[in-house]
Amino acid sequence: MLNAGQTDTDILGQKGSALDETNLRILSVLRDNGRISMAALAERVNISRASAYNRVEQMTATGVITGFSATIDPRLVGLDISALVFVTVHPQSWHRFREGILQMPDVEYCSITTGEHDAMLLIRAVDITGVHDFVTGVVSIRPEVKSVVSVVVLDEIVRRSFLLPTDIPVRESETNGLGMTRFTRVAEGRGEMARG
């Protein structure tokens, strides 16, 4: 059900962008086969070749599609080990830390996180010695790094190049949108203490 002023694309998580159902179907097909011809793409999505071409060009120009690349199986190119490296950074060191991460070719993915650690890196290596050398000889010696925890990945069960809003199922929930977090009201009089 749409709220006042809300469009179908808002529901799909696009915030009023030019992505409609056809664009989302195009992206879904491209996710499975980025080398598909425009004619085959148009046929799969049930639109004209010119429309498929124009839509792909528009999504590329607006930054929705950021590029096309090959995906590989890391094990088949000799990168048998992967690890998650959780890093805690000293305050006021974020700029140097970010610059340093960009210079590390071992890092496949990095995200800044909430919780106990400040960042999570996904790294690949030829063997466990490569993980050890990276963690102890590259990351932990940086002056902006406070602590490092590494976890070797035993198996990668799901690995997608990207998700679309249409991939996310609608789920009924009795938690009123709070997830696993429980909301506890402030005890009577305690709110005044915090302000006083």
Q: Per residue in 84-106, pLDDT tens?
A: 999 999 988 989 999 999 999 99
Same domain? For 35 and 56 the reply is yes
The domain tally of the chain equals 2
pLDDT band at 37 (very low <50, low <70, confident <90, very high): very high
Mean pLDDT of 100-116: 94
Residue where the block lists tokens 């679309």: 164
Task: Give the CATH number, domain containing residue 30.
Answer: 1.10.10.10
- Cα 97 to chain center, whole Å? 20
Lowest-pLDDT range of 24-38, 116-130, 173-187: 173-187
Segment (H or E) for 147: strand 145-152
Asked whether residue 191 is domain-assigned, the answer is no
Same domain? For 56 and 84 the reply is no
Q: Per residue in 62-71, pLDDT tens?
A: 999 999 888 8
Same domain? For 81 and 146 the reply is yes
Asked whether residue 119 is domain-assigned, the answer is yes
Same domain? For 143 and 91 the reply is yes
User: What is the reported pLDDT for 176?
Assistant: 57
Phi, psi (deg, nearest 5) at residue 57:
-60, -45
- The residue segments making up the domain with residue 23 are 8-61
Asked whether residue 189 is domain-assigned, the answer is no
Report the alpha-carbon distance of residue 140 to residue 86 in Å, rounded. 11
Asked whether residue 188 is domain-assigned, the answer is no
Segment (H or E) for 97: helix 94-102
**What is the DSSP secondary-structure string of 8-77?**
HHHHTT-TT-S--HHHHHHHHHHHH-TT--HHHHHHHHTS-HHHHHHHHHHHHHTTSS--------GGGG
